[in-house]
Amino acid sequence: MREFGYQRVLDVPGAVAQLAADPETRCLGGGTNLVDLMKTGVERPGRLLDVTRLPLGEIERTADGGLHIGATVTNSDLAAHPEVRENYPALAQAVLAGASGQLRNMATVGGNLLQRTRCGYFADVSQPCNKRVPGSGCPAVEGEHHNHAILGASAHCVAVHPSDMGVALAAFDAVVTYETADGPGRLPLTDFYLPVGETPHLETSLPSGALITGVTLPPARLAANSRYRKVRERASYAFAIGSVAAALEVRDGAVHGARLAFGAVASRPWRARAAEQVLTGAPATAETFAAAADAELAAAEALPHNGYKVTLIRNLVVSVLTELCEEAT
Q: Residue 204's pLDDT is what?
A: 98
- Backbone angles phi and psi of 55, in degrees to 5: -80, 60
pLDDT digits (tens, 9 = 90+) for 220-268: 999 999 999 999 999 888 999 999 999 999 999 999 999 999 999 999 9
Closest CA to 112 of 60, 162, 64: 162
Alpha-carbon distance of 242 to 267, in angstroms, equals 13
Which tens digit of pLDDT belongs to each residue from 124-170?
999 999 999 999 999 999 999 999 999 999 999 999 999 999 999 99
For the chain, how far is it from start to end, CA to CA, in angstroms? 56
50, 7 contact by CB (below 8 A):
yes
3 state DSSP class of 70: strand
The tens digit of pLDDT for each residue in 265-300 reads: 999 999 999 999 999 999 999 999 999 999 999 999
Q: What is the pLDDT of residues 174-231, one digit of tens each?
A: 999 999 999 999 999 999 999 999 999 999 999 999 999 999 999 999 999 999 999 9
pLDDT of residue 236: 82
**Longest Cα separation, the chain:** 63
For the whole prediction, is pTM greater than 0.95? yes
d(CA 183, CA 121): 38
CA-CA distance, 60 to 317, in Å (whole number)?
31
Mean pLDDT across the chain: 97
Residue 329 has pLDDT above 90, yes or no: no
Which amino acid, 86?
A: E
Sign, Cα dihedral of 195, 196, 197, 198: positive
